[in-house]
Amino acid sequence: NKASLDIDEIKVEPLQEGFESKLIEEGFQNTSESEYISKSKCKKPNNKDNQLICDKCEYSTTRHIYLVLHTESKHDGVWRFSCKECDYKATRKENFERHTLKVHKSIISIENNEKTKALSKQELDEHMKKIAKLVCEFCDFAAKYPSDIQKHRQTVHEGVRYSCDECEYRTKNKSDVKKHKQNIHEGIRFYCNQCEFQAGSNKYLKIHQKSCHEGTRYSCDQCEYQAEYPDHLKAHKVYKHDSSSGFSCEQCDYKTVAKINLKKHKQAIHEGVKYSCEKCEYQTGWKNQLTQHNQNIHEGIRYYCDQCDYQATKLGHLKTHRGAKHEGIRYYCDKCDFHATDKGYLQSHTKSEHEGV
């Protein structure tokens, strides 16, 4: 194992983003905030409640810097912070820091927007406790920002969920509903400019491009395992190194890193839930398989190889074909002479021949 990280060394580079810097940028170096408001394009404060009102929409705030940030992001399309790992954008430094900590488990240098520290779960917990200013009154959860405490309280202790108005989808995160509707109901896709891959979000498109076209790998800090995708590394750690985490089925040996996957597993395997095709007699316990069935059988979607006449019903099959037939990729067993053209075949071989499964 790697030596534990000294949490005191984890810092985020400062960025000047206060009101003074905004004045300098716009040529109001020696101007007071009240004078700036009168000279800028902002509407004058409402004397009754001292509200600053946006001149392009109904947004209002009591603080001028918030109005500046609102105008930049909502009307000018300018975001001060952009995440290189996904499509997240922020106007405020603390929101960007919080995103990189919670989503990517990393410390980001604001000055150059580059990852400087990758944290393990334990290191992240220690860091969050160190910077925490607020503690939940119902449990030991601690956070730096009031909004995090409020969200924690609502989702964990009050059971608040946000629902899709077109299906049964529910989530703890309000923003996930919008992404779900765009992906599932509106069919919005993000296409790779180097292959036929398409993703439901820009985040997963970037992950694909890094993995498949830039050769990025995510290394385990406890063994030599390397993953093509962050989710695969997370699953590896749960299955191989941390038996206490993850979600396990009490009716069989199934285990997953995502609670929603456990729910789907129980419905399909133990509760007999079926999804039926409206055009034929096909049934499956998995909604994504029904979608795949409709695309392949009833919509005739195919993925074509650009080097031969091969065509596949799944993009993954096309990728496997290219690797095996045109790039000579082989996956070798480290315990015998067996080799395969697909990772899944190698895993099946290892389980059946060497692990007795």
pLDDT for residue 39: 45
pLDDT tens-digit readout, 9-30: 333 333 334 444 444 444 444 4
pLDDT for residue 51: 80
State in Å, rounded, how far the first CA of the chain is from the last one.
29
Tokens representing residue 76 in the block: 């000018």
pLDDT tens-digit readout, 148-189: 788 888 888 888 888 888 887 888 888 888 888 888 788 888
Q: Which residues of the chain have a pLDDT value below 50? A: 1-34, 36-45, 47-48, 112-113, 116
CA distances from 222 to 59, 118, 226, 287 (A): 49, 14, 11, 35
pLDDT for residue 139: 82
Separation of alpha carbons 140 and 124, rounded Å: 15
Separation of alpha carbons 95 and 101, rounded Å: 10
pLDDT for residue 185: 83
Buried b (16+ CB within 10 A) or exposed e, 28-54: beeeeeeebbeebebeebeeeeeebbb
Q: What is the longest distance spanned by two Cα atoms in the chain?
A: 81
Residue 285: φ, ψ to 5°: -85, 0
Q: Which residue, among 79, 82, 80, 86, has the nearest Cα to 105 in the 3D structure?
A: 86
